A and B are shown apart, each in its own frame.
Chain A
């Protein structure tokens, strides 16, 4: 059987040549979308992401964010420049919190869109997660994930605007992954301690 398949392959090759178009070198692109596996980096991210989100229902905001390819993040403006500031040179927020948001989105294999909110300003319904300042109570308590502690100010929280548990659980697992791998400490060192 195998030999028969090979013989057919050879015939197809010969047919290409017989058609007189053998020299036609195409730079033809794939005709339809592919599962992403462009680089070693994306392969590794895909493997880790699959493990981090294993068993989570593909529903609610997690599903929606993955479908749109974008995690919509709001950061309530902080007077602490190291945590988050707007960089006019790149036209985007930078600092520890935007990097955390980027890491969360990366592990969901999507891209973050980060917008800054003024103190007291509430996020719109399109927002998936909000990085709240200390003591902000504008989030249902069962949607809060503590992520950053200082003895002076206490815990900062992420509010997951989920209608289910999937996104909240995914974010919590990713934060735990960032702690265990040292990524959290590295980002803190780069943006806050330095």
Chain B
């Protein structure tokens, strides 16, 4: 019976699956003082799994953003079912998670590598008498090697982006502050990291992002142009530059930078989505549609459905507009019902039976 249900439901990957592993942000116990180590070690695990390997792990920022589109992921402690739903959505094989704590014996890391499809659950753990990030990284790599049954790379520069330990530590302290909305403290750490290693690109990207939050777009663009001059093939720098130019409404320059980012990393849905946004705002609808569709071909949960619906509604393509709205409702967005009820762009669709049904369905949702 179960097999019959499966046959009817599979395959239904919503994400075309460039990643085999999802490494969820390691939890950190409140009594553990070096909280910044949690994102630092999570990122290290992702890079260790991904470097020179087919079993690539989804970057933590991309996974966080994907999780933010998942209703059940809103809770502080994400349930295993939610983590597994995200894994299935991406088509990944396994999940890595863990937590950092401290007790009388010292620093503890406990985690697991889980492949729910095969039933493989491997505990990973290690402890250190005193916390030291370098020692923790080494121990983590060792436990992951045992759990995954293969050697992981140990190229410090490639895994951290710098050989300077204090630059790396300052950067991750900044990330920890930034993610807690302590932007000024974060900026100070990013600047400290850049001073320790001017060639380290991560703090430059993080600093630019923090400046954009403060609407200091010109400052962000200057930081990013400098970063690009030293790392011209870094897609994230081109993307953030494109975004800062877009915020300044320099649309043509923005498109050039976003296009470079998308050429360097053609399967990043964020870059394709953003290209779609800028084309749409420039009224280049065919280009906007093409980029939104490419983003959705990689990840159907992306909120490109609603802007697609807006374009189809504006250009009076009824069936496509309705289909896009139905998909937008599947990946239900906050405020979608009110928008559908109030947005004059959809007025001409109000007599359409599918549009009316969609409104009714949304009204019935809790």
Contact = CB atoms under 8 A, between A and B. Distances in A.
Contacts of A20: 2
A111 interface: yes
A29 interface: yes
B320 to A, nearest CB: 16
Interface stretch (A146-154, A163-171, A178-186): A178-186
A25 B10 contact: yes
B117 interface: yes
A56 interface: no
Interface in A1-53: 2-3, 6, 9-10, 12-14, 16-42, 44, 47-48, 51
Contact of B365 (A32, A39, A69): A32
Contacts of A103: 249
Contact of A187 (B249, B270, B336, B341): B249
Interface string B322-341: 00000000111111101101
Interface residues of A, number: 63
Interface in B312-356: 314-316, 330-336, 338-339, 341-345
Nearest to A35: B334
A177 B217 CA distance: 12
B176 interface: no
B180 interface: no
Interface string A62-104: 0000011110000000000000000101111010000100110
B302 interface: yes
A36 B334 contact: yes
Interface stretch (B82-90, B163-171, B226-234): B82-90
B334 A22 contact: no
Given A27-B12, A28-B85, A68-B342, A6 B249 contact: no
Nearest to B327: A29
A30 B332 contact: yes
Contact of A13 (B5, B89, B116, B315): B116
B335 A33 contact: yes
B11 interface: yes
Nearest to B300: A27
Given A32-B71, A47-B213, A177-B215, A13 B314 contact: no
Interface of B: 2, 5-6, 9-14, 27, 29, 65, 68-72, 74, 80-81, 84-85, 88-89, 91, 97, 99, 101, 108, 110-112, 114, 116-119, 121, 123, 209, 212-213, 215, 217-218, 239-240, 243, 246-251, 270, 273-274, 277, 281, 283, 285, 300-303, 314-316, 330-336, 338-339, 341-345, 365-366
Interface of A: 2-3, 6, 9-10, 12-14, 16-42, 44, 47-48, 51, 67-70, 87, 89-92, 94, 99, 102-103, 111, 113, 115, 177, 180-183, 186-187, 190
Given A29-B330, A42-B303, A70-B339, 20 more contacts: A2-B108, A10-B121, A13-B84, A17-B118, A21-B2, A21-B6, A24-B9, A26-B12, A30-B70, A30-B71, A30-B331, A33-B332, A33-B336, A37-B65, A40-B239, A47-B213, A92-B314, A182-B218, A190-B249, A190-B251
